[in-house]
Homo-oligomer: A and B are copies of this chain.
Amino acid sequence: MTLGEALFRPRAVALIGASGDPAKNTARPQRYLRKHGYSGRIVPINPGRKEVLGETAYPALADAPVDVDHAFIMVEDVERALEDCGRKGVPVASIYSDGFADAGPAGEQRQRRLVERAKALGVRLLGPNSMGVVDLRRGLALTVNAILEMDSLPAGDASIVSQSGTMLGTVLSRGAARGLGFAKLVSVGNECDLGVGELVELLVEDSDTRVILLFLETIRDPERLARAARTAHAAGKPVVAYKLGRSALGQALARSHTGALAGADAAVDAYFRDCGIVRVDLLETLVEIAPLLRGRRPPDLARPGRVAVVTTTGGGAATVVDRLGLAGIEAVGPRPDAPIHDLTMTATPRVYQETLEKLLESSPCDSVLATVGSSAQFHPGLAIEPILAASAKQSAKPLAVFLTPHAERSLSLLAQRGIPAFRTPEACADAFSAYFSWVSPRKPTQLPAPPLRQDAFELAEALGIPAATRAIAHAPDYAHPIAYPVAVKVLDAEHKTETGGVALDVMNKDQLLEKIAPWSKNAVLVQKMEQGLAEAIVGYRDDPVVGPLILVGAGGTLAELYRDFSLALAPVTAEEAERMIERVKGLAMIRGYRNLPRGDVKALARAVADFSRLALVPGRPVAEAEINPLIVKADGVVAVDARLVLKG
């Protein structure tokens, strides 16, 4: 029996701590398994009762007369339950009980001990603090989540892995209300053993799952998840993430909530892009997006996405087109001055269908969006018939639908036929935005390991990045070999421009002595005065969550004020670095903006790529490194300030 089988298709489940009081949470798994038609054996374990909710109960797991594939632990003494599982040969246990990493340092220690013991016993663990596992196609409702109170839930082919157990109910109930079903659902809790990454791998192997959805508060094992996402990509299964922590507030929360450090959001974005995970912004997009991605490959667009919008309702289409525009998506209309195919006056079902088909076949768009007005509410069948007909012909382009009124029946009909449909203009635009920015996982770059130096300038040079000619001038006469004009700097201060420890355009020795007098330093750095067309910042950081990152931004104070930078997982190639540079607004100035003189973007890209190779230094000793500014000239670049922080 494989792990996936034990987790999702157990022949027998033990409910350790099953309550006979149907009002209690600990009675739910048993009630739900029965209610949703689980066909395997249910084994309630309860030391005080011979029978629980009509099922024969056993005082201890050892007394169970059958082999148990999956145990659900709801008792306080998790440790003892685990020992019982080990003795009984149970391959996997889901732990609902909490009081582990969710409960401070003592809980963390308790969790570590539990994991060690489980390894020794050969029991795989889901949780602790997990709400369990659901397989809607098989009636496996091994969960305490109240959503299973619903009499029936539609089954679909998207599965979800969630770090919040309650959000499973949120996603399921919202999907069910509009006819969208799911396949498998897993609440991972503290991820002490089975984590998001491994579960994604299990879902890649699962033939019922075609799209994998993630609700994430943090990323606990980024390497495993990245590997899993690449495997999913290879198998043609899109992975979609909704991740908290976009605002500082959300980040603080994710931290306190999960006991894990949430990465800064831009780093998470770079990480998702790197391994081909699609990120959605709105919660409902996570519920609604699966049909848009199912069976598709990343479009890998290097330009804005283009949608052809067909409508019979002007106002409704305008709400979604306005939103598409905000997301940088282009609406391809019949004429340049008409961004919408408006059939308000001319629409027969036949014309509508033919318009859709024609656009799906031949128009210069990447996708087609059909907007439907009030008919979706009052004549669901009629309203969506042309869309169903048009979607019957296979097309490489997605055909999606936005319904302006509240129209659950139309949404259901579309869901049944696997056609992506959206409740709000915002989720619709968010889904398109996610789809168009979906890229294939980046192929690992094979590059030689670079050397390491203790001095930031020497390090830059060792990596192949030119640095300004420099020398250290010592008291009392501060002699140096650099030709004037020079820049003079204190040796040790960060943010030199603020503290005043820098003098530019120093023309001669007298000026030098005059400038540095107030600093009272025995030694100063003297550099050749460099000038160029723009200043850039190139940064490297070994992020505690997602690993080595490379950053390029506009230099100077403004870059920080505007948070104008581009981030990617390191290392990157020069070609990738060039695309990063294109995303930095402030560097438009050297890309030919308004006839300003062009800077050497290629040299900047090479410098970014070279710097990113710090990720390849054996043992990854560099915590942070930065060239700021890197001066970009018409021909070449030169580092005039640099900083290096080694680990520990």
Contact = CB atoms under 8 A, between A and B. Distances in A.
Nearest to A102: B314
Given A165-B315, A337-B256, A173 B561 contact: no
B324 A169 contact: no
A322 B244 contact: yes
A561 B424 CA distance: 31
A253 B377 CA distance: 25
List the number of copies, as a whole number.
Answer: 2
Given A167-B315, A314-B166, A315-B215, A249 B325 contact: yes
B561 A593 contact: yes
Contact of A173 (B256, B321, B405): B405
Contact of A562 (B253, B256, B405, B586): B586
A331 interface: yes
A133 to B, nearest CB: 17
Contact of A564 (B146, B253, B562): B562
A566 interface: no
Nearest to A374: B146
B169 A374 contact: yes
A152 to B, nearest CB: 15
18 contacts: A147-B377, A164-B316, A164-B318, A166-B373, A167-B316, A170-B315, A170-B405, A177-B408, A247-B325, A250-B321, A253-B340, A256-B338, A282-B424, A424-B424, A495-B594, A558-B589, A561-B585, A561-B593
A302 interface: no
A571 interface: no
Nearest to A175: B406
A596 interface: yes
A176 B405 CA distance: 11
Interface residues of A, number: 81
Contacts of A338: 256
Contacts of A593: 557, 561
A215 B322 CA distance: 14
Interface string A302-328: 000000000001111011011111100
Interface in A513-529: none
A102 to B, nearest CB: 10
A284 interface: yes
A297 B275 CA distance: 49
Contact of A586 (B170, B324, B374, B561): B561
Contacts of A173: 374, 377, 405-407
Among A316, A330, A338, A558, residue most surrounded by chain B Cβ atoms (within 10 Å): A558
